[in-house]
Structure 1
Amino acid sequence: MKYYIKLLRPKDWAKNFFIFVPSFFARHIFIAEKIEHLLAGFVAFCCIASSIYIINDYRDIDDDRKHPLKSKRPLASGKVKPSYAIIICIVLIILGSALAVLANPNCHFLFILVVYFFLNLAYSFGLKNIAILDMLILATGFVLRVKGGAIITHVDSSDWLIIMTFLLALFMAIGKRRDDLLLKASSGTEMRKSVSGYNLEFLNTMLGLFGAIIIVAYISYTVSPRTIVRLGTYRLYYSSLFVIAGIMRYMQVVFVTQRSGSPTDILYKDRFIQITIFLWILSVFILLYLPNSPIFN
């Protein structure tokens, strides 16, 4: 049973928490009805994402067997039969679609899921082999999660929120591609065709560039007059400290410890990153939900 669970890649479901971001910033996170719909949407995204993972693993069985880590995946290792995996994939697609309608009866959220599914299907069937485009598609998937969350709860997903989500996802994707490149250099085996379109100098430059852009974008968002009026506080820039710390830590992981292969692994294992994210969430929560706290008086 554990191999069938592993087939779904539940640890990667953490990416789907981006669906809650619009409601969090709109101060709707404690409205019971909206949370119920968001949870249904979250599970729907998990189902569709897992179906894509299965399709991707099915297509990459031979390549994954050459990878030191991916060779342990259920399909590549032979622990799960391909025919069973396809049946599970179909069930997940049906369940995800049903939950999407439950979360948003007018089917706008379902449309987002359909776009996400076919975009990632195209990625699995060849677009992932095109350098730069592969990372842009991954980053777009995070934007769709945010848009989906905004649609479910009928809140405005600001331009800044979309931009920062895209930049952050692209930043992490660059770090992952850098790890793929280092793996190719150490093993002599090309694990991903798009890696041939990158080199260390290019990826190192992109990491530094996007790290700086994310920090500037976030600070600009927090001090924007529109943001101050919309959120009712000019102090949101306080939370920039944790954004800067998080970016610095991720770059330290990439350049110093050389273990940027999976952003989700970093999230689950790196205590510094976990504490930074927690403090960022806490600071934004206090600033948006507790504006009359004695801290600010």
Structure 2
Amino acid sequence: MADTAVLRQHARPPRSAPPRARRILGGLVRAARPRQWVKNVLVVAAPAAAGELFSRHAPARLALLFALFTACAAAVYLVNDARDADADRAHPVKRHRPVAAGQVPVPVAYAVGGVLGVLAPAAAAWLCPPAVCVLLIAYLGMQLAYCLCLKHVLVVDLAVVTTGFLMRATAGGLALGIPLSRWFLITTGFGALFMVAAKRYSEAVQMAGENGATRALLTEYTTGYLRFVWQLAAGVAVLGYCLWALEEGGVPHTGVLPWRQLSVVAFVLAILRYAVFADRGTAGEPEDVVLRDRALALIGAVWLAMYGLAVADW
């Protein structure tokens, strides 16, 4: 009996590592940057501002729009990581990305990115209004052009990343046929530029004097210039929001308090709080800054509550 048990023990195949396909699939998910998907929540900005967030068909259409932008963003991330794999290996943090680390082969990243880049616009053409389909194709083309060459062009790189945020915010309005206020567009655009420039400034400060930086333009931008950009953008965003909040659009106020106007206070406080991290050079990804700082998250929650009460005209 003992000999039989020993034979059975040796007959068992040794535990093997997870199949290669599973490792590649997990790497593809990581390369798609799930933490970045929160940026696509911007598709609800215009409907929420107009009080149409829970109107008929709005949740389903916005969920579809979120998924389409997520697919396009994943396609761009995969192509970008495949193209920059060699450079990322020289970076202390980016070398752990799945493509740079060898978990996802470069050809596989290109192939999956290409498939997603084709399927997302095709689905938009079938399920969304024509304006949304055109916007999604323009977004995808612009982001791919950014990966290939535009990220090496001074100022244009800032404009492209900012426009990507603005396109997300605009898409929700187009999907539901909501007119977009010019002040909404100005506030969203310059608010995005503020965060993009603050991130670039923080990267420039942290990478100063270090070799292996994968963002070549950081050596061409000066920290003084990037500081000027995020300060200018913050000022314009605040001005645009004030004008937006004071714009009644011909609708008389019947609520208990002028919540829309009062929300200016919370918005300005949020900008000032975010600027603390920008000034320190620690403003990385916007979602990381918000989730890391409880005070900023609380100010954001207060702003959302105020604007929600304004939309409900409570």
With 261-270 and 76-85 compared, the bigger mean Cα shift is at 261-270
1:46-84 alpha-carbon deviations (Å, 9 max, x no partner): 000110111111111122122222111111111111122
Aligned equivalents of 1:211, 1:73: Cα separation in 2: 32
Tell me which amino acid in the other structure corresponds to 2:283. Answer: S
Structure 1 residues 26 and 231, CA gap change in structure 2 (3 angstroms): farther
In the other structure, the counterpart of 2:41 is: 17
Pairwise CA distance, 1:144 = 1.2
1:271 to 290, 294, 308: 294
Residues 54, 274 of structure 1: alpha-carbon distance in 2 compared, 3 angstrom cutoff: same
State which drifts further: 119-128 or 274-283: 274-283
2:263 maps to amino acid: S
Match of 2:132 among 109, 132, 135: 109
Q: Which of 163, 166, 170 does residue 143 from structure 1 map onto?
A: 166
The 5 A counterparts of 1:136-285 are: 136-226=159-249, 229=251, 235-256=259-280, 258-285=281-308
- How much is the aligned-residue C-alpha RMSD, in angstroms? 2.0
Tell me the CA shift for residue 141 of structure 1. Answer: 0.8
Q: Which of 55, 61, 80 is the aligned partner of 1:56?
A: 80
Structure 1 51/116 Cα, relative in aligned 2: closer, same or farther at 3 Å?
Answer: same
Q: Does 1:287 align with 2:300?
A: no
Query: Which residue in the other structure is 1:41 paired with?
Result: 65
**What is the CA distance between 1:197 and its match in structure 2?**
2.8
Instruction: Note the C-alpha offset of 1:28.
Output: 1.0
Equivalents in 1 of 2:230, 2:76: separation in Å?
Answer: 27
8 Å contact from structure 1 (residues 140, 166) kept in 2: yes
Q: Distance in 2 between matches of 1:192 and 1:232?
A: 51
Amino acid in the other structure paired with 2:34 = P
SS of residue matched to 2:48: helix
Distance 1:210 1:180 in 2: 18
Question: Gaps spanning 5+ residues in structure 1: where?
Answer: none
Aligned-residue offset at 1:101: 3.4
Match of 2:52 in 1: 28
Normalising by structure 2, we get a TM-score of 0.85
Deviates more, 1:165-174 or 1:82-91: 82-91
Mapped to 2, the partners of 1:53 and 1:77 lie a distance apart of 15
Aligned counterparts of 1:166 and 1:130: Cα–Cα separation in 2: 20
Q: Secondary structure at the match of 2:283?
A: coil
Higher helix share: 1
Map Cα deviations across residues 81-114 of structure 1 (whole Å, 9 max, x no partner): 112222321332244224423541x432111110
Q: CA deviation at 1:191?
A: 2.6
Contact map agreement 1:54 1:85 (CA 8 A) in 2: yes
SS at match of 1:76: coil
Tell me if the contact between 2:117 and 2:140 (Cα under 8 Å) persists in the aligned partners: no
Aligned residues: 288
